[in-house]
């Protein structure tokens, strides 16, 4: 056996024990052969890499026809051809049209429903219940309470209310096209070089084994990672790796950027609206500044400042959100505060995250960045700096 | 500053994706596993970026990738070459010296040359190459599928390889001259 045959056996993983020993001797003792071997193996790797790319380019990714192409058949023997034609025909006669249709539909299946969804199929809207199959050409929308799909690889896609998506399956893995709304993805470990991709009109997220959410509409797309790591790109040149606690955002016509969502989102479980009800707090992650309001209803200056702040908040909305830090009593309800409030009994947890009121005054206003760093405060200890300059700062945000 | 260092590591890993996957393939002889190893390496590089001090970043990434490939080899001893740790180290040593000597740029140029040469191959030859080297379909199965003899599949494989090698080397030589 010459050297090249030995190299070929290595790359095709068919070395016998004796051949393995011969190869080791060659690599140890013959530098020239060792170099030839390295070139041969590298060349094979390059060939596979390039051939795979060429094949991907020939068949568009995500298309229904993107399966391993059948090699040409024109040289098949007549007998083989006859058998191939005869067997499906016989099967059709025996099993019947119903089973065949069912089979074809199973081939189209990308997974099943875990929580009821609505799908647009063949021009009609149908509601699919738990365990019913979803096909790759179905346009899936969440029902009134959201919906969930379990894909064939075990990954789950949870759609929030009003979200729509389409899932396609190819030899390269799953691709979810999220048209609008929010999707939460728990992706199973992708094996054998397969990938899991989520497309929005503005960005592409390539999953490296993870749990993350994607929000999309015509103007903005956001990706937030809960576990693992994803790669996000803007379908052009800009790409970022996003980790837990980070957020990738792109606005139409803008540049893909990454920011830290950890501090703001760490507060999410402890916040509610002025009436003490649970509400959407995830928009906090896209705000660069958080304004903490400490105020007491019994304090006249607190009451008058809250009214002033409410007017300001309405007139100058910006890249900030106010959080009222005192949950006791009915101050937020009576004044119908339009911002977020700390839930009753959660003050200690919030203080652990952000620290207690830094002032001895009943009224204080603190501006934080997304990292939780204090940028400005109306009072610190027993020193009062006033709220006017803070409002001026907020106006600029 | 530290963020820049981490970004730099991930960007290099992303830019070197081809060469790193090829390196993993050289060790694992399985394209799917090579891609998995690359992804595992990305996650490790992303979380352990602080342990990279200075020096050859590509080599540092290859060290992580080698460890990942080694773990995969240990967990999937499906062939003789998979089970042999000494062979694994020898292959790693030789591939590394080739990469160190030729560099990333040469690898990319060779890849471009190969890509351009691949266009001259017949569709059937391309499919046989992919099925054999990437999907690990045996020559016997390919012969049966295509209605050919095993020998003719071997011939197609070796002829395609020769054509590709010759064409790529010529292109590289021409590029260097120009």
Question: Domain holding A313: CATH number?
Answer: 3.40.30.10
CB contact under 8 A, B87 and A28: no
Whether B84 and B46 map to the same domain: the answer is yes
**Total beta-carbon pairs less than 8 A apart between chain A and chain B:** 165
* CA-based nearest distance A336→chain B, Å: 42
Boundary of a domain, candidates B67, B102, B137: B102
A16: which chain B residues are within 8 Å (Cβ-Cβ)? 80
Cα–Cα distance for residue pair B132/B31, rounded to 1 Å:
11
**B72 or A76: whose pLDDT is higher?**
B72
Residues B93 and B128 in one domain: no
ipTM: 0.89
pLDDT band at A76 (very low <50, low <70, confident <90, very high): low
Cβ neighbours for B81, distance < 8 A, ≥ 6 positions apart: A10, A13, A15, A20, A23, B29, B87
3-state secondary structure of A182: strand
pLDDT of residue A65: 36
Task: Domain of residue A345: give its range.
Answer: 264-396
Tell me how close the Cα of B68 comes to any Cα of chain A, in angstroms: 14
Same domain (yes/no): B14, B89:
yes
DSSP class of residue A366? E
- Domain assignment present for residue B143? The answer is yes
Q: What is the pLDDT of residue A102?
A: 59
Note the pLDDT tens digit of each residue in A225-260. Answer: 777 788 888 888 788 888 777 788 888 888 888 876
Alpha-carbon gap, residue A204 to A4, rounded angstroms: 43
Domain range for B137 is: 120-178
pLDDT (tens digit per residue) in B57-89: 888 888 999 988 888 887 765 554 556 788 888
Q: Flag if A12 and B126 touch (Cβ within 8 Å).
A: no
For residue range B5-47, list pLDDT tens digits in order.
777 888 888 888 888 999 999 988 888 888 888 888 888 888 8
The DSSP element (H or E) to which B95 belongs, if any, is helix B85-118
Total number of domains in chain A:
2
The CA distance from A157 to A181, in Å, is 13
Last residue of a domain, one of B69, B102, B135: B102
Q: How far apart are the C-alpha atoms of A372 and A370, rounded to whole Å? A: 5
B142-168 pLDDT, tens digit per residue, is 888 888 888 888 888 888 888 888 888
pLDDT at A393 over 50: yes
Contact A17 B86 (CB under 8 A): no
A149-202: pLDDT as tens digits: 988 888 889 888 888 898 888 767 888 999 888 888 888 877 666 778 899 988
| Segment A11-43, tens digit of pLDDT | 888 888 888 888 889 898 888 899 889 988 988
Domain end among B52, B67, B102: B102
Q: Residue B177 maps to which CATH number?
A: 1.10.10
List the single residue in B23, B133, B146 with the smallest CB-CB distance to A11: B133
Cβ distance of A193 and B31 shorter than 8 Å:
yes
Establish if B165 belongs to a structural domain: yes
Does the residue A85 lie in any domain? no
Question: A42 and B95: CB-CB below 8 Å?
Answer: yes
Radius of gyration of chain B (CA): 18
Report the number of distinct structural domains present in chain B: 2
Residue B93 sits in the same domain as residue B146: no
* CA–CA distance, A367 with A320 (Å, rounded to integer): 9
* Close Cβ partners of B138 (under 8 Å, ≥ 6 residues apart): none
Residue B49 lies inside a defined structural domain of this protein: yes
User: What is the spatial distance between Cα A250 and Cα A253, in angstroms, rounded to a whole number?
Assistant: 8
Query: Residues A149, A114: contact at Cβ < 8 Å?
Result: yes
Closest-CA residue in chain A for B168?
Answer: A43
pLDDT of residue A61: 40
**B87 and B13 in one domain?**
yes
Q: Can you tell me the distance from the alpha carbon of A128 to that of A113, in angstroms, rounded to the nearest whole number?
A: 7
For testing contact with chain B, the best of A18, A20, A50, A257 (most B CBs within 10 A): A50
Same structural domain, B59 and B92: yes
Q: Are residues B5 and B90 in the same domain?
A: yes
Which residue among A15, A17, A80 sits closest to B147, beta carbon to beta carbon? Answer: A80
Asked whether residue B110 is assigned to any structural domain, the reply reads: no
CB A157 within 8 A of CB A167: yes
Return d(Cα A29, Cα A14) in angstroms, integer. Answer: 22
Residues A303-341 as b/e (b if ≥16 CB within 10 A, e otherwise) read bebbeebbebbeeeeeebbbbbbbbeeebbeebebebbb
């Amino acid at each position: 056996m010459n050297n090249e045959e030995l190299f070929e056996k290595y790359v095709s993983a068919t070395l016998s024990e004796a051949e393995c020993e011969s190869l080791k001797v060659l690599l140890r003792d013959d530098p020239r052969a060792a170099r030839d071997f390295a070139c041969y193996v590298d060349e094979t790797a390059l060939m596979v890499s390039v051939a795979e790319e060429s094949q991907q380019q020939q068949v568009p990714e995500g298309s229904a026809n993107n399966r391993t192409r059948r090699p040409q058949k024109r040289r098949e023997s007549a007998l083989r051809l006859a058998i191939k034609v005869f067997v499906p025909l016989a099967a059709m006669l025996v099993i019947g049209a119903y089973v065949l249709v069912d089979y074809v539909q199973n081939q189209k299946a990308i997974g099943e429903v875990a929580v009821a969804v609505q799908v647009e199929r063949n021009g009609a809207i149908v509601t699919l219940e738990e365990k019913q199959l979803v096909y790759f050409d179905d346009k899936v929308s969440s029902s009134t309470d959201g919906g969930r799909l379990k894909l064939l690889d075990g990954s789950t896609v949870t759609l929030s209310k009003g979200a729509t998506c389409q899932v396609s399956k190819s030899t390269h893995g799953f691709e979810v096209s999220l048209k609008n709304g929010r999707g939460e993805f728990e992706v199973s470990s992708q094996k054998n070089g397969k990938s899991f991709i989520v497309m929005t009109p503005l960005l592409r997220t390539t999953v490296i084994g993870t749990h993350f959410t994607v929000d999309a509409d015509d103007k903005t797309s956001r990706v937030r990672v809960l576990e693992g790591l994803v790669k996000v790109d803007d379908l052009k040149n800009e790409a970022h790796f996003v980790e837990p606690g980070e957020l990738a955002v792109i606005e139409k016509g803008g540049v893909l950027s990454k920011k830290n969502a950890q501090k703001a989102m760490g507060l999410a479980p402890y916040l509610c609206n002025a009436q003490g009800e649970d509400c959407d707090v995830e928009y906090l992650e896209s705000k660069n500044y958080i304004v903490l309001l400490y105020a007491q209803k019994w304090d006249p200056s607190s009451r008058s400042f809250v009214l002033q702040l409410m007017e300001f908040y309405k007139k100058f909305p910006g890249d900030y959100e106010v959080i009222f830090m005192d949950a006791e009593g009915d101050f937020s309800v009576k004044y119908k505060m339009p911002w977020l409030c700390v839930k009753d009994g959660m003050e200690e947890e919030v203080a652990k995250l952000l620290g207690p009121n830094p002032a001895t005054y009943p009224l204080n206003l603190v501006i934080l960045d997304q990292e939780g760093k204090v940028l400005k405060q109306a009072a610190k200890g027993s020193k009062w700096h006033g709220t006017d300059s803070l409002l001026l700062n907020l106006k600029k945000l | 500053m530290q963020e820049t260092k981490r970004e730099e590591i991930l960007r290099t890993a992303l830019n070197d994706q081809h060469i790193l996957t090829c390196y993993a393939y050289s060790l694992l002889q399985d394209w799917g596993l090579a891609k998995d190893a690359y992804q595992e390496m990305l996650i490790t590089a992303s979380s352990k970026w602080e342990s990279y001090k200075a020096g050859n970043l590509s080599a540092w990434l290859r060290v992580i990738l080698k460890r990942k490939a080694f773990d995969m080899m240990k967990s999937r001893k499906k062939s003789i070459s998979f089970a042999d740790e000494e062979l694994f180290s020898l292959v790693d040593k030789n591939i590394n010296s080739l990469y160190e000597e030729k560099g990333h740029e040469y690898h990319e140029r060779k890849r471009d040359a190969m890509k351009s040469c691949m266009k001259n191959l017949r569709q059937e030859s391309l499919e046989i190459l992919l099925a054999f080297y990437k999907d690990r379909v045996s020559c016997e199965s390919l012969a049966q599928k295509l209605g050919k003899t095993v020998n003719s599949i071997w011939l197609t494989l070796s002829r395609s390889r020769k054509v590709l090698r010759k064409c790529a080397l010529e292109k590289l030589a021409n590029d260097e001259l120009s």
